[in-house]
Amino acid sequence: AQTVTQSQPEMSVQEAETVTLSCTYDTSESDYYLFWYKQPPSRQMILVIRQEAYKQQNATENRFSVNFQKAAKSFSLKISDSQLGDAAMYFCAYRQGAQKLVFGQGTRLTINP
């Protein structure tokens, strides 16, 4: 079964600095999708960024970018110029085709002003 591991339960960063959240996954498949979701205190889960495994180019969405290392099965999220509104729980997720979405345990990110 596919598993997703986020080894950092908590992280903190100073406002305006850069932070990287780690995620590794286990799969024997070659075609799949990876996602990062953000869950702020309001509990609304928000899709931050996605990556298709067949694409070598790392996805970028404004201040959010990923470092996708397919061979290492690693999918980290980099947040540049951190803002107070970035404070949230971040979940890494994996999906292969029409199978269920598999989530990691989450990383709680704190932004220090």
Partner 1 sequence: KAGVTQTPRYLIKTRGQQVTLSCSPISGHRSVSWYQQTPGQGLQFLFEYFSETQRNKGNFPGRFSGRQFSNSRSEMNVSTLELGDSALYLCASSSGQGIYEQYFGPGTRLTVT
Residues lying near partner 1 in the complex (CB under 8 A) are found at 33, 35, 37, 42-47, 50, 52, 91, 95, 97-103, 105-106
Nearest Cα residue to 24 out of 42, 2, 40, 44: 2
Indicate the pairing of strand 33-39 with strand 46-52.
antiparallel
Residue (79 or 104) nearer to partner 1, CB:
104
Residue (76 or 91) nearer to partner 1, CB:
91
Residue (78 or 108) nearer to partner 1, CB:
108
Q: How far is the CB of 65 from partner 1 (least distance, A)?
A: 17
Q: How far is the CB of 87 from partner 1 (least distance, A)?
A: 18
Q: How far is the CB of 33 from partner 1 (least distance, A)?
A: 6
Residue (71 or 100) nearer to partner 1, CB:
100
